[in-house]
C-alpha cells in the first residue's frame, strides 16, 4: 500500500510534522516534501515557521494554532481536513510535546479525519542522548510550575519514581528550579542541555546542587532541557532499618515529624506515609 504521506497526492487530513530544534539542516526530506504539498500549515507562530519555509524556498498559506486557540479554531481546521492537507507544526521539534496540539489530533480523530505523523527532532530525546544518564526508562515532565508549593508538590510526585526525569526550563528560572529539584528529589546526577544542534550547543553535567550553584549568578540563554537521573541504587540498597532510623532522628532534630518524614522518604525514594508512621514510633520510643 503506498505511503499517503510521501505520494504526490497525499490524502486529505492532518499531518503532524516535526521541524528542526535549531539547525535548519535537520529538516527531513519527508517533512520538507509534506510542507510543500500542504494546503494549509497550522503553526504555533507563523513568523517562526516563515523562516523555515524561506529556508526551504516554499510559500504555503499559514494560520496560527497555539495555546490560546479555541474550539472554534479547531473546528474550522478539522472542517478543512475533509478535502485539504493540513500540516501541524510547532516552533521547533515535535508538535504535541509540551504544546496543545493533542486537542486538534483528538478532534480530527473524532471527526474521522485521516491523521499521520512525520517524526523528527525532539529536544527532550536529544537531551537524553547527550546527558549520559540512564535512558531505558524516562518521564517527560514538561515545565515545572512557577509557584513554590505547586513546584514542590509536582516534584514530590516524581521523587520515588525509578526513572530518568526530563524537564524543559527557561534561563531566568533555571537555578531556582535546579535547587528545588535537589530539595525535592535529592542531590541526584543531572545534565543541563541547551542550544541543541546550534553553534553554541552545550551539555553540562553534575549534581543538582552543583548545577544550581553554577547557574545561580549566570542564567544561560537559549532553549534548555534538564535531565535528572533516577534515585541512586546505592542509596536505595542502604535504606535498611538502621539507616532509616538514623536519618529520621537526624531530620527530626530540627524539623517537625511530618517534614522530617517527608524529607527522608524523598531521600530514599520510599512511601511518605510509611516513613511518617516509622518516625512517630521512633519519637514515642525516644
Mean pLDDT on 70-89? 97
Is residue 268 exposed (0-12), middle (13-18) or buried (19+ Cβ within 10 Å)? buried
d(CA 216, CA 152): 19
Given a cut of 70, whether residue 234 has pLDDT beyond it is: no
pLDDT at 7: 56
pLDDT at 237: 42
Residue 112 cell numbers, joined: 474521522
Q: Residue 129 phi/psi, 5° resolution?
A: -65, -30
pLDDT at 236: 45
d(CA 220, CA 237): 36
- For the chain, give the percent of residues with pLDDT over 70: 94
Q: 271: pLDDT confidence band, cut at 50, 70 and 90?
A: confident
Q: What is the pLDDT of residues 31-64, one digit of tens each?
A: 999 999 999 999 999 999 999 999 999 999 999 9
Mean pLDDT on 89-101? 91
Q: What is the pLDDT of residues 193-209, one digit of tens each?
A: 999 999 999 999 999 99
- Over the chain, what HEC string results? CCCCCCCCCCCCEEEEECECCCCHHHCCHHHHHHHHHCCEEEECCHHHHHHHHHHHCCCCCEEECCCCCCHHHHHHHHHHCCCCEEEEECCCECCCCCCCHHHHHHHHHHCCCCEEEECCCCHHHHHHHHHCCCCCCEEEEEECCCCHHHHHHHHHHHCCCCCEEEEEECHHHHHHHHHHHHHHHCCCEEEEEECCCCCCCEEEEEEHHHHHHHHCCCCCCCCEEEEECCCCHHHHHCCCHHHHHHHHHHHHCCCCHHHHHHHHHHHHCCCHHHHHHHHHHHHHHC
pLDDT at 1: 41
Mean pLDDT on 151-176? 94
Which segment of 89-98, 128-137, 168-177, 255-264 scores lowest on mean pLDDT? 255-264
**Backbone dihedral region of 197: left (phi > 0), alpha (psi from -120 to 50 degrees) or beta?**
left
Given a cut of 50, whether residue 235 has pLDDT beyond it is: no
Q: Higher model confidence: residue 98 or residue 86? A: 86
**Under 8 Å CB-to-CB from 134, ≥6 apart: which residues?**
164, 229, 230
pLDDT at 6: 54
Mean pLDDT on 62-73? 93
Given a cut of 90, whether residue 242 has pLDDT beyond it is: no
- State whether residue 19 is helix, strand or coil: strand
- For the chain, give the percent of residues with pLDDT over 90: 77
Grid look-up 553540562 returns: 204
d(CA 94, CA 204): 24
Look over the chain and give the mean of its residue pLDDT values, rounded to a whole number.
Answer: 91
pLDDT at 55: 96
Given a cut of 50, whether residue 2 has pLDDT beyond it is: no
Residue 173 cell numbers, joined: 528560572
For the beta carbon of residue 162, count every other beta carbon within 10 angstroms: 11
Q: 4: pLDDT confidence band, cut at 50, 70 and 90?
A: low
Residue 50 cell numbers, joined: 516563515
d(CA 8, CA 4): 9
Mean pLDDT on 247-266? 89
Amino acid at each position: 500500500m503506498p505511503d499517503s504521506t510521501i505520494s504526490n497526492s497525499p490524502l486529505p487530513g492532518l499531518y503532524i510534522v516535526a521541524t528542526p530544534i535549531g539547525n535548519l539542516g535537520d529538516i527531513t526530506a519527508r517533512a520538507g516534501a509534506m510542507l510543500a504539498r500542504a494546503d494549509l500549515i497550522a503553526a504555533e507562530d507563523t513568523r517562526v515557521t516563515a523562516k523555515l519555509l524561506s529556508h526551504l524556498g516554499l510559500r504555503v498559506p499559514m494560520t496560527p494554532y497555539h495555546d490560546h486557540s479555541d474550539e472554534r479554531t479547531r473546528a474550522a481546521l478539522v472542517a478543512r481536513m475533509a478535502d485539504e492537507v493540513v500540516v501541524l507544526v510547532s516552533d521547533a521539534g515535535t508538535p504535541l510535546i509540551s504544546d496543545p496540539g493533542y486537542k486538534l489530533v483528538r478532534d480530527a480523530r473524532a471527526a474521522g479525519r485521516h491523521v499521520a505523523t512525520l517524526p523528527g527532532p525532539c529536544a527532550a530525546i536529544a537531551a537524553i542522548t547527550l546527558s549520559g544518564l540512564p535512558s531505558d526508562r524516562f518521564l517527560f515532565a514538561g515545565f515545572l510550575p512557577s509557584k513554590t508549593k505547586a513546584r514542590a508538590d509536582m516534584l514530590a510526585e516524581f521523587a520515588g519514581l525509578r526513572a530518568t526525569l526530563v524537564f524543559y526550563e527557561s534561563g531566568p528560572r533555571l537555578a531556582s528550579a535546579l535547587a528545588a529539584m535537589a530539595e525535592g528529589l535529592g542531590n541526584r546526577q543531572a545534565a543541563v542541555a541547551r542550544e541543541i544542534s546550534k553553534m553554541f550547543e552545550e551539555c553540562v553535567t553534575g549534581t543538582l546542587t552543583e548545577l544550581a550553584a553554577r547557574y545561580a549568578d549566570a542564567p544561560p540563554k537559549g532553549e534548555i532541557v534538564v535531565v535528572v537521573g533516577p534515585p541512586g541504587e546505592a542509596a536505595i540498597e542502604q535504606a535498611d532499618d538502621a539507616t532509616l532510623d538514623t536519618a529520621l532522628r537526624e531530620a527530626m532534630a530540627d524539623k517537625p515529624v511530618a517534614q522530617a518524614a517527608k524529607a527522608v522518604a524523598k531521600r530514599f525514594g520510599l512511601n511518605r506515609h510509611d516513613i511518617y508512621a516509622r518516625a512517630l514510633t521512633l519519637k514515642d520510643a525516644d
